[in-house]
Amino acid sequence: MNLKDTISTLSNVQIDDVFVAQLDKMYGVSLPNEVKKIVSISAETVFYDDFSLLRGLSHAEILSASSDMSVDFIGKHLLPLFDVGDNDYIVFATAEKTWYRFNIVDEVEFDKAENLSVYL
């Protein structure tokens, strides 16, 4: 799968209402449509051909990220969506409605961006 093509065709993605409702409830927010569509691309892990390390997290990985990675993503208002290697993730900051790269070892946010396309 190619990420750039996937992102450019998000308008065609059917929102997974059940999964999105789980995330909305967990994070106490209503996610923007772009994020709803990104998490609805696939329930399974997605590997992208145009990036050697980038992979989209599965629904199970997103739901269990806080416990699996020992990071309070929910408390930090960060929704992890992509693993970019070296313990770094692309996350959506639900409170700020912006994007970050986030290192789970140092728990540091960096490379703030207004939209996901900056990382592509």
**How far apart are the C-alpha atoms of 108 and 105, rounded to whole Å?**
8
Task: Specify the number of domains making up the chain.
Answer: 1
- pLDDT given for residue 53 in this prediction: 76
Other C-beta atoms within 10 Å of 24: how many?
Answer: 15
Nearest to 33 by CA among 53, 11, 62, 52: 11
- pLDDT given for residue 70 in this prediction: 97
Note down pLDDT in tens along the chain; length 120 residues.
Answer: 777 777 778 889 999 999 999 999 999 999 999 999 999 998 898 887 755 678 899 999 999 999 999 999 999 999 999 999 999 999 999 999 999 999 999 999 999 999 888 876
Which CATH number belongs to the domain containing residue 97 in this structure?
A: 3.40.1580.10
Taking a C-beta distance cutoff of 8 angstroms, is the pair 91, 108 a contact? no
Predicted structure pTM score = 0.91
- pLDDT given for residue 8 in this prediction: 79
Q: What is the dihedral of CA 30, 31, 32, 35, to 10 degrees?
A: -160
Taking a C-beta distance cutoff of 8 angstroms, is the pair 19, 58 a contact? no
Rama region for 97: left / alpha / beta (φ>0; ψ in -120 to 50; rest): left
Token representation of residue 48: 């992208």
- pLDDT given for residue 50 in this prediction: 58
Domain that includes residue 60, residue range: 3-119
